[in-house]
Every structure is written in C-alpha cells, then in structure tokens.
Amino acid sequence: MKKILLLVLLLLIHYGCEKKYDSVVEAKLAVYQVDSLSNFNTFTYSLLDSSVNVSIKFTSSTSIKNVWVEIISPENENIYSGKINLFDNGIQANGDDVKGDSRYSNFIAMKKEFVNGSYTINYFVEDKTGTTKKAASQTFLYNNGSSNVAPLITAVLVPDTLTVKDVSLAFSIFVSTADSNGIKDIYEVYFITYKPDLTSNGTKTYLYDDGNASANGDVYAGDGIFSRFLSISPTNQKGIYRFEFQAKDRGGLVSPIVQKYIVVK
C-alpha cells in the first residue's frame, strides 16, 4: 500500500513540474473573403478612355499569394488568352491607390475591334498553400464606340431541285455574310421554312460558322460563311419550298430577308 502511494506521489510531482509550450508551431492561414468588386456595369471605348480599372477587395489578404482575372467575350473566348495579374502595390499605373489595403487592381485595355456585348470578368486567387480558386465573377456591357450597322447576307447556296425516292436525301446549305462592325459582330444566322402549302411553324433553323465540317459542313471557323447539313424524307410534301434567311448581330439588328426556293420531287 505504501509503495502504491509513493508511486502516485512521484507521478504527481512529475506532471506538476512538466514544462508547458504555449507557442504555435504552424498558425492556420486566414480564409479570404470578397468584400467588393469593380463598380461599373458598362464601358464605352474612346481614344481618350480605352481601359477599364478592374479591382477586387478582400476583408483580409493575409492568406493571399496572387490574384488575377480573365475576361470572357460574348463569343465565350478569353480576350487575352491568359491571366491578367491584379496588384495591391499602391502603383497608380496598375490602378491601385493604396498599398496593402487588400484591394487588388489593374488597368485592362479594351480594344476597338472587340465586339459589342456582355463580357464576363472571372477573378481567381492563389493562396499561400498553392491552392487556386475562382473567387468571384461580374459582367459588363461593352460598346466599342462604332455605330452599329445591320449585317447582310451576301450569298446563299442551296440546291434548286431535290429528287426524293425511297430514302431520305441529304443536302447542304451555305450562307455568306458581311457586317461593317466585323464578322464577329454577327450573333446568329438562320432560316424559316415554308412548305408547298405555304404553312410554316415559324421555327428558326440555325446555321454554323464553327469549322466543324463533319457535323455541319462548315470548313473554316469565323470566316462569315455559315453552313448546315439537312435532309428531306420521302414523306415530306412534294412541291416548292421557300426558305427565308436572316442574320442577326449582337446589337439586335437583323439583315433584310433573303428568299430561296427548292423544288422537291
């Protein structure tokens, strides 16, 4: 019994004299939170003002290593094919006024040849652990400063006559377009079909300028020539079909209607 009491006493003395370590070996990195983004919804290009000041502010930047953005055009393309760094260095050439205030900024040039429409700014953050995440997004309407002019359909290539027998017959349609605001300003090209009995369901059938030759017969993407594969079956009405073609730009203007006729036998 005395031996047990002595052992307990020794253990109490040992733990009572044990050194305590209060310092933290590895502090947990602070989690960043977005406080605000650039304050603009529209931007119009001019020779005196051709750059947007893009910025993002965080509640804390303790854990942040790098911040950058990408700008996506209405055509879903990254306009600068890479990331654009933002800075919190207090250098006004970067659009940043105060160093170390957790606001990251930079000027980004918008070019006159960029198409009008809605652009998306995606903000990305790399923290000090090397983890990269998308922190925020915003959109703005861009006006390249040019007067908007309606597009034109300059040529339509369709067969004059189709002879359909026992099986469906495939054929192609090609439409050439022009736009004084640039080919990229053309948003869509389509046609509406009218049957020999003059009825139509009014549905738009879209053509493509994506260079996907196997899917729709388009050879070169972005050249202003829109294409599509179609087929007609033996059960379709025989007679004269009317096709009404139009092009629409990103500003909502449409071209004059171009009509073409195909005789189905």
pLDDT of residue 9 exceeding 80 = no
182-205 pLDDT tens trace: 898 999 999 999 999 999 999 999
Q: Which pLDDT belongs to residue 47?
A: 85
**251 confidence band (pLDDT: 50, 70, 90):** confident
- As a residue count, the chain comes to 265
3-state secondary structure (DSSP) of residue 180: coil
pLDDT > 70: percent of the chain: 89
186-194 sheet: strands from edge to edge: 161-162, 258-264, 239-249, 186-194, 205-206
Q: Which pLDDT belongs to residue 27?
A: 38
Per the structure block, which two tokens stand in for 234? 């033996």
CA distance 12 to 18: 10
Amino acid at 244: E
Task: Please state the domain extents for the chain.
Answer: 34-143, 152-264
DSSP category for residue 152:
E
DSSP category for residue 63:
T
Amino acid at 23: S
H or E element that contains 168 = none
Q: Is the dihedral angle over the CA atoms 110, 112, 114, 116 positive or is it negative? A: positive
Is residue 80 a contact partner of residue 180, using CB atoms and an 8 Å limit?
A: no
pLDDT of residue 10 exceeding 80 = no
Let me know if the fold of 34-143 is the same as that of 152-264.
yes
Q: Where are the alpha helices (DSSP H) in the chain?
A: 2-16, 213-216
Per the structure block, which two tokens stand in for 228? 């599509």
Per the structure block, which two tokens stand in for 220? 């070169």
54-99 pLDDT tens trace: 999 999 999 999 999 999 999 899 999 889 999 999 999 989 999 9
Q: What phi and psi, each to the nearest 5 degrees, are found at residue 133?
A: -140, 150
**17 confidence band (pLDDT: 50, 70, 90):** very low
Neighbour count for residue 152 (Cβ, 10 Å): 15
DSSP category for residue 214:
H
Q: What does CATH list as the number for 152-264?
A: 2.60.40.1930
Give the residue carrying structure tokens 């919804």.
Answer: 41
pLDDT of residue 154 exceeding 70 = yes
**150 confidence band (pLDDT: 50, 70, 90):** very high
CA distance 155 to 227: 12
The gap between the terminal CA atoms of the chain, to the nearest Å, is 115
C-alpha triplet 224, 51, 133: angle, nearest 5°: 85
CATH among 3.20.20.150, 1.20.1740.10, 3.90.930.12, 2.60.40.1220 for 34-143: 2.60.40.1220
Beta bridge partners of 86: 67
Q: Which pLDDT belongs to residue 250?
A: 87
3-state secondary structure (DSSP) of residue 116: coil
pLDDT of residue 13 exceeding 70 = no
CA distance 21 to 132: 34
